[in-house]
């Protein structure tokens, strides 16, 4: 098991954001976490990254318990996140943003090779490499955020709402790239409100409601579940 979350509970102040959440991600999978806004999807990713700490329960990655490990060490262990809203460094160039993504790596030859791979996957970024990130379109910023995360060569990539605010054609392009990244060997945990798109590329899925996992199964089981179709697939 690559990642195992066991019975975690997270509070923000006096508000319980997650209650007894358990889920697993196997090596090589795309696992989708779907649910309405405020269900606790982003909090789950933040807990994995060490940005919020569970009050109870454990998060285990490659046999190591992450609960007390600082976020920068978690990145070095092979987990990288593409945050909701992209969060690129707007006053840095595309190239500088990508270099920031590789900060945990010391071998400059390998970093250059990763940069080459990112530009091969996102040709638009290479065309704009000296442009300030803040001047890019929403779709280009999403590509940059993904490219920046890939610069650390993650074994597990966490994606938080990658389709948010993008035109339908761009959403299809981004999801196609997510599939390619997975096929190239990166395991993916995907948080997404666009359940149709998420289930179209995922192997398995979990449904979060008000901080609790209420359903889980294969992506096709989820896509055919009447409750899921009614609540999240617009039927």
Q: Taking each helix axis from N to C terminus, what angle separates 168-183 and 138-150, rounded to the nearest 10 degrees? A: 10
pTM of the model: 0.93
**Listed residue (31, 4, 44, 27) closest to 219, CA to CA:** 31
Q: Is residue 128 part of a domain?
A: yes
Q: Is residue 98 part of a domain?
A: yes
Q: Is the pLDDT of residue 186 over 90?
A: yes
Range of the domain at 95: 89-153
- Count of alpha carbons within 13 Å of 116, Cβ hemisphere only? 6
Answer whether 37's CB lies under 8 Å from 4's CB: no
Q: What value does the mean pLDDT of the chain take?
A: 94
What proportion of the chain, given as a percentage, has pLDDT over 70?
A: 100
Q: How many residues does the chain have?
A: 235
Lateral strand order in the sheet of 15-25: 15-25, 3-12, 56-61, 64-65
Q: pLDDT digits over 26-37, tens only?
A: 999 999 999 988
Q: Give the total number of structural domains in the chain.
A: 1
Q: Is residue 38 part of a domain?
A: no
Q: Once rounded to an integer, what is the mean pLDDT over residues 66-82? A: 95
Q: Is residue 171 part of a domain?
A: no
Q: Once rounded to an integer, what is the mean pLDDT over residues 218-231? A: 92
Q: Is residue 187 part of a domain?
A: no
Name the most confidently modeled range: 137-141, 168-172, 199-203: 199-203
Q: Which residue, chain included where needed, has tokens 């920031």?
A: 100
Higher-scoring residue by pLDDT: 141, 86: 141
Q: What confidence score (pLDDT) does residue 108 get? A: 84
Q: Is the pLDDT of residue 24 over 90?
A: yes
Q: Is residue 192 part of a domain?
A: no
Answer whether 116's CB lies under 8 Å from 125's CB: no
Beta strands in the chain (DSSP E): 3-12, 15-25, 30-34, 56-61, 64-65, 79-82, 156-160, 187-192, 204-209, 212-218
- How many CB atoms neighbour CB 173 within 10 A? 15
Q: What confidence score (pLDDT) does residue 56 get? A: 97
Name the most confidently modeled range: 56-65, 85-94, 95-104: 56-65
Q: Is the pLDDT of residue 235 over 70?
A: no
Q: Is residue 97 part of a domain?
A: yes
What are the residues facing 188 on neighbouring strands? Answer: 30, 157
Answer whether 18's CB lies under 8 Å from 211's CB: yes
Q: Is the pLDDT of residue 226 over 70?
A: yes
Q: Is the pLDDT of residue 4 over 90?
A: yes
Q: Is residue 93 part of a domain?
A: yes
């Amino acid at each position: 098991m690559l990642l195992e979350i066991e019975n975690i509970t997270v509070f923000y102040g006096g508000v319980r954001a997650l209650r007894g959440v358990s889920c697993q991600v196997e090596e090589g999978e795309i696992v989708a976490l779907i649910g309405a806004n405020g269900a606790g999807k982003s909090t789950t990713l933040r807990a994995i990254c060490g940005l919020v700490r569970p009050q109870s329960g454990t998060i285990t990655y490659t046999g190591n318990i992450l609960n007390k490990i600082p976020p920068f060490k978690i990145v070095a262990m092979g987990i990288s996140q593409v945050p909701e809203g992209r969060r690129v460094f707007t006053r840095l160039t595309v190239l500088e943003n990508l270099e920031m993504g590789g900060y945990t790596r010391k071998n400059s030859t390998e970093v250059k090779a990763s940069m080459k791979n990112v530009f091969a996957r996102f040709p638009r970024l290479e065309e704009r490499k000296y442009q300030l990130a803040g001047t890019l379109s929403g779709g280009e910023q999403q590509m940059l955020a993904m490219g920046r995360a890939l610069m650390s060569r993650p074994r597990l990539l966490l994606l938080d709402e990658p389709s948010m605010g993008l035109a339908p054609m761009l959403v299809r392009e981004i999801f196609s790239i997510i599939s390619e990244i997975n096929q190239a060997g990166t395991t993916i945990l995907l948080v997404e409100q666009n359940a149709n798109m998420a289930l179209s590329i995922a192997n398995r899925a979990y449904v979060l409601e008000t901080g609790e996992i209420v359903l889980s199964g294969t992506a096709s089981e989820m896509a055919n579940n009447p409750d899921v179709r009614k609540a999240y697939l617009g039927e």
